Structure formats: C-alpha cells, structure tokens
Amino acid sequence: MRRFFVLAAAFLAALALLAAAYGAPGRTVVVVLFDGFSPAMMQGVATPNFDRLAREGVSSPHLVPAFPALSMVNHTSFQTGCWPEHHGIVANEFRDPAKGLYGSKTDRADAAWRTGCESLWQAAERQGAHAAVFNFLGRWSSQTGQQASVINDEVPWKDHEDDDTILAKASAALSDPSFRLIALYFDYPDAVAHGDGVHGDQTKAAVAKADAVVGRLLSAIESLPKDRQVVLIVAADHGMTKVDKVINIDKLKRLHHFDATVSYGSGTAMLYLVPGSSPARVAKALARYRDVFRVYRKGHLPAYAHIGSGPRVGDLVLITDPPYAFEGHEIMPAEAAQRAENIDGPPIYEPGQAWFHSMHGFDPRSEDMHAIFYTWGPGLGRGTRMDKIDMIDVAPTVLKLLGLKPFRHSDGKALDLVR
C-alpha cells in the first residue's frame, strides 16, 4: 500500500510539472522582443541576466527569421505564427494596389495592413485572457481600434515612452493576475548597430541596456506571490551582419534603361516596374550581375521565401549576400546622396565614406541573420539549448503555455519546452 501511495505521489508530481509547463490556470507569459539582436553582439559584453536565462531556462542562438529578414516582416510573423504570404507584411516598405504605400509615409504599426492571421493578443482576448501590449506594431487598428485590453498610445517613434515608463506599465499589468499575456518591444540594438557595427561600442552599450531590461523583469516576476506562475520569453526579430559594399539601384536603372519603384531591404530589394515595362527584359539585363545578386520573377522565388506572389510582391525580387547591400538615393542620408561616388561611377562599389556598417534583410538561412531566443519559468527545461527555431513557432508556443487553443490559422507549431 505504501508503494502505491509513493507511485501515486510521483504521478501527481509529474502531472503538476506538465501543468506548470503548459497551460496552468492563471499562468502569465511575458514576451519581450528586441530589434536586430544577434547572438554575436554579446561577445565582450557582460550579460548576467541573459546568462541566467540560459542557465536556468531554454535558449537558442538560432531563432530563424522569415524572409526577408526585416523588422516589420518578422514582428508580424513573431506575433501571428504566420509566413508573410499569409499575414501580408512582405517587406518594411511595399506597394498595395488598393491601399497604396506601406512604409515611411504610413503608420506601419496599424494592424489593418495585415491581410490575414490574428495576433497573439487577439487570440488571447478572444479566449477570455486579458493582454497588455506595449510598443509592438499591430496593437491597434485604424479599422477596429485597440487590439488588447491595455496598450500604450501609438505615437511617432521619436515621441515614444521611455523604457522606465514601459517597464512600469508592464510591472503594473504583471501585478494583476487577470493579465495573462504581457508583450513589450524595444528598438535596440538595431537602432545603433546599423551605424556602429555588430561589435561597436554603442552596440555593446545597447546589449548591456537590453540585459538590464531583462534583469528588471526578472526582479518584477520574483517579487510576485509564490503561487503565481510566470514564464518569460525573450527574443529578437533578426540578426545583423557586416556590410561595406553598395549595389546602387539608381545607377542600375539609368544604366539599363528601366524605371521602377523600389522597396529597399538591405539584403533584398523589390522592384515594382512602371506599367508597360517588361519584367523579362529587366531580369535579363540584371542577370549579368549574378555573381553579386540573384534576380527572381514574382512567383519564382526560392522555397525559403514564403512571401507568395500576391500584388504586394514586386515584379522582380533581388537578393544579395554580405558584404553587399542594396541602396538608392531615396534611403541614403541627404549628405551621402549628394556625393559624387553615389551619383556617378559604377553601380557596385565600396563607398569612400560609408554611412552604414551592418545590415540585415538577407537570406534567413545565413546564421548571421539568426536572432536570440530565451525562455525561463517553472516547469521548463533547465539549461537546455535548442537548435534552430523558426520565427513562426514562437506564437503557437506562447498560446500553448497559456493553455489556450491554437490560432484559427497559423503556419507554425508549438515547441516542446519541457525537459
């Protein structure tokens, strides 16, 4: 009889462990997304809080972004579990025949730009779990209003609330057990790494700043009553890599006599040719540069490029590899756009005065494009290092941790974090 009770106790303990890991009643998940944070950026930087997450939780240095490895694309894939061909955000800038330009002249945070797929917070709210969302794109819609119970106001990024304010709001939501999902976004290290490089001093300072954010969230979690079940997930949208050569599309247009609106993505560029142009002719003209970049017609992209062939995709998609990056006068700093080397001369060159040092938007299979991923909390693997994780798998994992039903539509699958 005593053996029976021992076995029963062990069985119940195992059930409790599983419940703690997946869908325990009242569990809260805190999701943090940093921008442009590759594991290589941690070299030479003290990161005690990230180290703790790796030591006590589950981590991977290979969170693989969706193509192209750009912010808006992967913020949306991260929160929906969908490929771009389904959620509709195919680049940081693109043209929609009905809505016009998505990009610098529009509010890219507007969830109304999505053509499909629901966000984490929509799925949570739909199932009765309150969410608080700060700084993430897609937390509000110009058509249907705010998408979560609590959001911070949408303002131009230069006017956004500082980290202290955002963390205070997140801590307030965390102290209320009715909030099951809390999501926060921070724009670094990307904000400085483009100009400073992957290993620059400003980039290192941004990494240390991110580590401090993680530390404050860990402290807030650990100050809660002992019966609260909280999981912390920390990730990034893409990595970064060194670049030092320019593919100047303005020069290519003049040299090969074609006109197009260009969606620039550093390692990727989409060309929307003017009506009457021949995509075949332009593709043939650009094919001579195959040693530097590849040219694809819409609908004929590589298997890894899940952007579909809808009207938002350019007539031609150009993909290059480091150390090259696509540039043009539209996106150059004003001073650089006026320099002779960026107006005349060969279309592919190393600028004498570079205005960039690291970029992204390249083939997501490149490890330099991979991002950080950590998850920490009761019942999860301890000191477990996972191999590659697809960006689209994060959101389904969050819903599973919350004990909620899967998305109505998702391309991703929930990860098994129990070890």
Using CB atoms within 10 A of its CB, is residue 346 exposed (0-12), middle (13-18) or buried (19+)? exposed
Model confidence over 232-259: pLDDT tens digits?
A: 999 999 999 999 999 999 999 999 999 9
Burial of 102 (0-12, 13-18, 19+ CB in 10 A): buried
Pair 130, 203 in one domain: yes
Residues 6 or more apart in contact with residue 247 via CB below 8 angstroms: 269, 289, 292, 293, 318, 320, 324, 325, 326, 327, 347, 348
| CA contacts within 13 A on the Cβ side of 414 | 18
Q: 257 and 227 share a domain? A: no
Q: Are residues 161 and 129 part of one domain?
A: yes
Amino acid at 207: V
- pLDDT for position 233: 98
The answer to whether residues 384 and 285 belong to one domain is no
Percent of the chain with pLDDT over 70: 94
pLDDT tens across 280-324, in order? 999 999 999 999 999 999 999 999 999 999 999 999 999 999 999
3-7 long-range CB contacts below 8 Å, 24 or more apart?
Answer: none
Domains held by the chain: number: 2
Instruction: Give yes or no: residues 368 and 352 share one domain.
Output: no
Give the residue-averaged pLDDT of 182-189: 98
Alpha-carbon gap, residue 14 to 11, rounded angstroms: 5
User: Average pLDDT in the 69-75 region?
Assistant: 98
57 within domain boundaries: yes
Tell me what the mean pLDDT of segment 48-73 comes to: 98
Half-sphere exposure of 345 (CA within 13 A, CB side): 13
What does the angle CA 31 – CA 33 – CA 39 come to, to the nearest 5 degrees? 120
Q: Which of 7-16, 28-37, 338-347 has the lowest mean pLDDT?
A: 7-16
Asked if residue 147 and residue 40 are part of one domain, the reply reads yes
* Strands annotated E in 5-73: 28-35, 58-64
With respect to residue 411, please indicate whether it lies within any of the assigned structural domains. no
pTM of the model: 0.92
**pLDDT tens, position by position, 262-282:** 999 999 999 999 999 999 999
Residues spanned by the domain of 165: 2-241+364-401
| The pLDDT value given to residue 98 | 92
- 342 lies in some domain: yes
Q: Is residue 45 part of a domain?
A: yes
Same domain, 134 and 183: yes
Determine what percent of the chain falls in helix, strand and coil, rounding each to the nearest 5. Answer: 35, 25, 45
Based on the domain organization, do 265 and 231 belong to the same domain?
Answer: no
Closest residue by Cα to residue 217 from 53, 419, 44, 35 = 53
User: pLDDT tier at 418 (50, 70, 90 boundaries)?
Assistant: confident
Average pLDDT, the chain: 93
Task: Check whether residue 228 and residue 192 sit in a common domain.
Answer: yes
Quick one: pLDDT band at residue 25, thresholds 50, 70, 90?
low
Three-state DSSP state, 343: coil
136: burial class by Cβ within 10 Å (0-12, 13-18, 19+)?
buried
Decide if 419 is inside a domain: no
